[in-house]
Chains A and B, each alone.
Chain A
């Protein structure tokens, strides 16, 4: 696979004190945010946090295991639809949320089993995941008729399912999360998943994953069944994407076939590439940046938003080819070296 991170990924070393400080500051900043800004900003930032989970699920697989799953949206959409259908049927949301993690995991396990144990090549794995998400999209779109009902819920095809209930607070006697509640939830989950993945990569399991990325054959010769590790990683990523999809449904109170489509799938890759896949924080920044840009452009009267966005993306690939954060990192490192050189003289 092209464009591997240089040398060993940062996952190989335990985080330093400043990383923990960064996480704590980030968390504190996010949790303080709702009291500082109005709810429409909270709404805009929540969707960034939720989609950042989707970006994380992909960058974990891609940057650390070397599996480029083009179709993470399959699990994203599946998570969203699972939550929507169950929550509307049962009127209970906590269980629906858990189911929205489990079903994508099962699906990822089956799909991953066929692909990984079938030992299909990297590029075919990428496109196969894409084909799967496109087929799910087509399938959902074809359910407009009133014969397509799960329980009491019409699948509604093209139109998607509206009025998906917001998450109820499990101990709150049916009280629903408002916009700020969804914000806190998304922030906490994103930080947990981020820290969790970062620490996971330190474990024995994580080290094997990274070694598979570096050299799968050598890892196997050392006695590890790389397929088992890859499948496990694929399932974990499926769960994170499913979580993101369920939160998306909670956030907007709707799900629609667009969750599966090609432009959504490509966007995930774009967030990851823009942020740089050799870190876990990069994709989060990439998601935030692109989301902010498109939301902001929509209110600027630039004419065709896609025209501007398209140019930005093209310039980006040609200029910042390592991704945003790594490039900034390189520039900073360069500056620091120069300053050191300056003081040393």
Chain B
């Protein structure tokens, strides 16, 4: 466990508590103040931890940084951590614990859409506030829910036209994971490809445990597309990138993705398998900006290793910082006050400027088109400034319907 290196932990109110060391609190003049409580429910154990482990660190580091800088509103911040063990049943139990026993002012966490949908009604039940820091399919319209990650249209409206224009990827073959995110992203992809005068040759879905991609690789070759789009997700689907390189090869047929890199996929592949893939992202370690460089350095020092950090690690930090800005603006950590202050809250982070859009409680951010290199990271090709969460804005208006709690599926 990397978290206890610089902090001490104790168990209270049924959660693992990461309170900043007494010396930190003393030097920041925070000793003795009533703490503000942040609950973090993420999967340290189980199949989803490939996405969560860095985010757990990112979240803890954010809290530590805030405490060092004098806390929030003159109060220290206490982090309650719950390991949901990649099992939605625990998301339900721990989210309730966090509010009832932990008296959390904000709940941060959840990786999958299903875990978010399990926790959202609980947040509502206790009048809380929920920051969901994950790439997801968009459309959640709920004032108690804030999404700080990318949604499909945001990412695709930068990436798809670029790949079609600069790289001639007019005829696309789409492979997607067989669940909500894959289906909705594939629809947006088809729409944007067609709007830009391209052609979507096929859309195929893969259950999350498929490891044999030989059939589709043969079919792709028969269809002769200009580009293959991957919306594949999770450990089993990693096999696709390996098998693709062993048969077709990115040199012969371009490969672009919306999900690749998010689970730090490139660190797990060989140099040949990783080089050349095009992705759209809001953060990769090798962004040339000083903010990104210093963030990565700080993160690695905090964890005590030289691992690639990646998008989900940054999401964890981003979620804490955006919430902290909102608390400062509201002048109170109470959920309803913070919700009222959300619109227009900004944080200038490692991937660029993040702005919360109060109409949807989603985040406007920079999208960077990057290309995989041979050293386990990405080279920046082009940045697209301040892309709004357009798909969700089309269906959601919290100003007009503040009591809305639906997850809309955008009509594509």
Q: List chain B residues, Cβ under 8 A from A156.
A: 180
The 6 closest A-B pairs by CB, nearest first: A162-B117, A158-B179, A40-B100, A298-B83, A301-B16, A40-B97
Q: B82: CB under 8 A from chain A?
A: yes
CB of B219, distance to nearest CB on chain A (Å) = 19
Residues of B within 8 A of A (CB): 1, 3-4, 9, 11, 14-16, 44-46, 81-85, 87-90, 92-94, 96-97, 99-101, 112-114, 117-118, 120-121, 178-180, 182-183, 205, 207-208, 407, 409
Q: A304: CB under 8 A from chain B?
A: yes
Q: How far does the alpha carbon of A17 sit from the alpha carbon of B4 in the complex, in Å?
A: 53
A156-B180, A162-B117 given; A258·B88 CB < 8 A: yes
Contact call B113/A299, Cβ cutoff below 8 A:
no
Q: How far does the alpha carbon of A73 sit from the alpha carbon of B120 in the complex, in Å?
A: 26
Chain B interface SS verdict (over half) = mixed
Q: How far does the alpha carbon of A111 sit from the alpha carbon of B124 in the complex, in Å?
A: 41
Q: How far does the alpha carbon of A295 sit from the alpha carbon of B15 in the complex, in Å?
A: 10
Q: List chain B residues, Cβ under 8 A from A157.
A: 178-180
Contact call B178/A162, Cβ cutoff below 8 A:
no
Contact call A159/B45, Cβ cutoff below 8 A:
no
Q: List chain B residues, Cβ under 8 A from A179.
A: 96
The contact of A294 among B4, B16, B85, B92, by CB within 8 Å, is B85
Contact call B85/A298, Cβ cutoff below 8 A:
yes
Q: A306: CB under 8 A from chain B?
A: yes
Contact call A38/B100, Cβ cutoff below 8 A:
yes
Contact call B182/A47, Cβ cutoff below 8 A:
no
Q: A219: CB under 8 A from chain B?
A: no
Contact call B114/A254, Cβ cutoff below 8 A:
yes
Contact call B178/A295, Cβ cutoff below 8 A:
no
Q: How far does the alpha carbon of A317 sit from the alpha carbon of B322 in the complex, in Å?
A: 49
Q: How far does the alpha carbon of A305 sit from the alpha carbon of B113 in the complex, in Å?
A: 23
Q: List chain A residues, Cβ under 8 A from B89.
A: 47, 252
Contact call B205/A144, Cβ cutoff below 8 A:
yes
Q: List chain A residues, Cβ under 8 A from B93.
A: 40, 43-44, 47, 295
B interface footprint on A294-328 (CB within 8 Å = 1, 0 otherwise): 11011111011110000000000000000000000
Contact call A43/B183, Cβ cutoff below 8 A:
no
B interface footprint on A151-181 (CB within 8 Å = 1, 0 otherwise): 0000011111011000000000000000100
Q: List chain A residues, Cβ under 8 A from B178.
A: 141-142, 144, 157-158
The contact of B117 among A163, A295, A303, by CB within 8 Å, is A163
CB of A292, distance to nearest CB on chain B (Å) = 11
Contact call A138/B207, Cβ cutoff below 8 A:
yes
Q: How far does the alpha carbon of A252 sit from the alpha carbon of B121 in the complex, in Å?
A: 10
Contact call B92/A252, Cβ cutoff below 8 A:
yes
A142-B178, A258-B87, A295-B90 given; A39·B96 CB < 8 A: yes
**Residue of B whose beta carbon sits closest to that of A298:** B83
Q: How far does the alpha carbon of A162 sit from the alpha carbon of B123 in the complex, in Å?
A: 14
Q: How far does the alpha carbon of A156 sit from the alpha carbon of B178 in the complex, in Å?
A: 10
Contact call A299/B82, Cβ cutoff below 8 A:
yes
CB of B411, distance to nearest CB on chain A (Å) = 11
CB of B178, distance to nearest CB on chain A (Å) = 5
Q: List chain A residues, Cβ under 8 A from B183.
A: 144-146
Give the contacts of A34-49 with B (CB-CB under 8 A): 38-40, 43-44, 47
Contact call A40/B96, Cβ cutoff below 8 A:
yes
Contact call A300/B205, Cβ cutoff below 8 A:
no
Residues of A within 8 A of B (CB): 38-40, 43-44, 47, 138, 141-142, 144-146, 156-160, 162-163, 179, 251-254, 256, 258, 294-295, 297-301, 303-306
Q: How far does the alpha carbon of A160 sit from the alpha carbon of B1 in the complex, in Å?
A: 32
A44-B93, A301-B16 given; A160·B83 CB < 8 A: no
Q: List chain B residues, Cβ under 8 A from A252.
A: 88-89, 92, 118
Q: How far does the alpha carbon of A217 sit from the alpha carbon of B94 in the complex, in Å?
A: 51
Q: How far does the alpha carbon of A45 sit from the alpha carbon of B58 in the complex, in Å?
A: 32
Q: How far does the alpha carbon of A299 sit from the alpha carbon of B180 in the complex, in Å?
A: 30
A160-B114, A298-B94 given; A303·B1 CB < 8 A: yes
Q: How far does the alpha carbon of A94 sit from the alpha carbon of B113 in the complex, in Å?
A: 29
CB of B181, distance to nearest CB on chain A (Å) = 8
13 A-B residue pairs with Cβ-Cβ distance under 8 Å, sorted by A, are A38-B100, A142-B207, A157-B178, A159-B114, A160-B114, A162-B120, A256-B88, A298-B85, A299-B11, A300-B16, A303-B1, A303-B44, A306-B45
Q: How far does the alpha carbon of A144 sit from the alpha carbon of B256 in the complex, in Å?
A: 23
**Residue of A whose beta carbon sits closest to that of B100:** A40
Q: List chain A residues, Cβ under 8 A from B117.
A: 159-160, 162-163, 254
Q: How far does the alpha carbon of A38 sit from the alpha carbon of B101 in the complex, in Å?
A: 8
CB of A176, distance to nearest CB on chain B (Å) = 11
Contact call B45/A305, Cβ cutoff below 8 A:
yes
Q: How far does the alpha carbon of A160 sit from the alpha carbon of B89 in the complex, in Å?
A: 12
Q: How far does the alpha carbon of A129 sit from the alpha carbon of B93 in the complex, in Å?
A: 30
Known: A144-B180, A298-B90. 17 other contacts (CB 8 A): A142-B207, A157-B180, A158-B180, A158-B207, A162-B114, A162-B118, A179-B96, A254-B88, A254-B118, A297-B83, A298-B45, A299-B94, A300-B16, A301-B81, A304-B44, A304-B45, A306-B46
Q: List chain A residues, Cβ under 8 A from B82.
A: 298-299
Q: How far does the alpha carbon of A252 sit from the alpha carbon of B114 in the complex, in Å?
A: 12
Q: How far does the alpha carbon of A160 sit from the alpha carbon of B91 in the complex, in Å?
A: 14
CB of B56, distance to nearest CB on chain A (Å) = 11
Q: List chain B residues, Cβ under 8 A from A163.
A: 117, 121
**Residue of B whose beta carbon sits closest to that of A141:** B207
Q: List chain B residues, Cβ under 8 A from A162.
A: 114, 117-118, 120-121, 407
**Residue of A whose beta carbon sits closest to that of B98:** A40
Q: How far does the alpha carbon of A252 sit from the alpha carbon of B84 in the complex, in Å?
A: 14
**Residue of A whose beta carbon sits closest to that of B99:** A40
A298-B94, A301-B81 given; A158·B4 CB < 8 A: no
A38-B100, A254-B114, A300-B16 given; A144·B179 CB < 8 A: yes
Q: How far does the alpha carbon of A47 sit from the alpha carbon of B112 in the complex, in Å?
A: 22
CB of B379, distance to nearest CB on chain A (Å) = 33
Q: List chain B residues, Cβ under 8 A from A146.
A: 183, 409
Q: List chain B residues, Cβ under 8 A from A39.
A: 96, 100
The contact of A305 among B15, B85, B120, B208, by CB within 8 Å, is B85
CB of B65, distance to nearest CB on chain A (Å) = 21
CB of A228, distance to nearest CB on chain B (Å) = 37
CB of B46, distance to nearest CB on chain A (Å) = 7
